[in-house]
Structure 1
Amino acid sequence: MSDPHKVPPGCVIPYLTIPSRGGQAAVEFYRAAFGAEEVFRNLAEDGERLMHSRLLINGGLLFLSDEFPEYGHATDIVPAGVTMHLQVDDADEWWNRAIIAGCVPVTPLADQFWGDRYGRMSDPFGHIWSIGAPVRK
């Protein structure tokens, strides 16, 4: 991505809602767990809640904000069936860093029949992440 501050047209960008005013903590967590770089931040008028953050993770964009129930943007609707996937160069390195940062394994990292080393984990904010990389030969 040439300019991480500009959102490219035609792309799909996940947008996470973080509960309990945890948006700023989530940015720091994703920095530690996934090497995220925050390229934009906008606080709400109260100066506390995170209205919008734009993160660059592994070459892709991720948006997140605190919940704003007064605008219908709340976390009481569980995003069942949603997994954030990171396709990486070294699954073990990315997996270990995320676990050390505080992710909890859901599906252990292992070599899979389709040719990837793959596993799933939950972050402290309730979002599921998967990590995959081609199996090393």
Structure 2
Amino acid sequence: MASDIGFAPRLIVADPVRASAFYRDVLGAEEVFRAPPGDDGRPTMIDHRIGDSSFRLSPAVSAWGWLSPGDLGGSAVLLEIEVDDPDAIGERMLARGAETVVPIENRPYGKRSGRIRDPFGHLWIITGELR
């Protein structure tokens, strides 16, 4: 049954176009679809792919209950991405406006990882092999 199910998280952000550029630059995400703009001029959804995974971006619309981390006072979800070089990804994110929550370091559980808050308020665990 599970093989028939698709799963794609949708990140709610104030500016999906800016967020899309950020994720393409720092994660190498490929934009695979952009829905037409809504009444406010923002695309209602931008679909991305990274490897075999996908995620979507949509604008915050309070009338629909679509709230960004800034609207909520923080992110309720941790997004985890495993990469070849967590330090390089972390540095790219920081150079483009993200902030360190937990430094990327070798951890006692056998991974090199840390936590970054992106400029849109979403929390990312960046993880990879020990160095």
The TM-score normalised by the length of structure 1 is 0.82
* Residue aligning to 1:11: 6
CA contact (8 A) 1:55 1:63 kept: yes
| Identical counterparts, % of pairs | 32
- Determine whether 1:124 maps to 2:122: no
Unaligned runs of 5+ in 2: none
What root-mean-square deviation, in Å, do the aligned CA atoms of Structure 1 and Structure 2 show?
2.0
Cα 1:109/1:31, change in 2 over 3 Å: same
* Residue aligning to 1:4: none
Give the structure with the higher percent helix: 2
> Between Structure 1 and Structure 2, how many residues are aligned?
127
Q: Which moves more between the two structures, 56-65 or 8-17?
A: 8-17
* Residue aligning to 1:85: 80
- Determine whether 1:31 maps to 2:24: yes
CA contact (8 A) 2:75 2:121 kept: no
- Determine whether 1:74 maps to 2:62: no
Unaligned runs of 5+ in 1: 1-7
* Shift, 1:9, TM fit: 4.2
- 2:104, 2:51 → 1: CA distance? 19
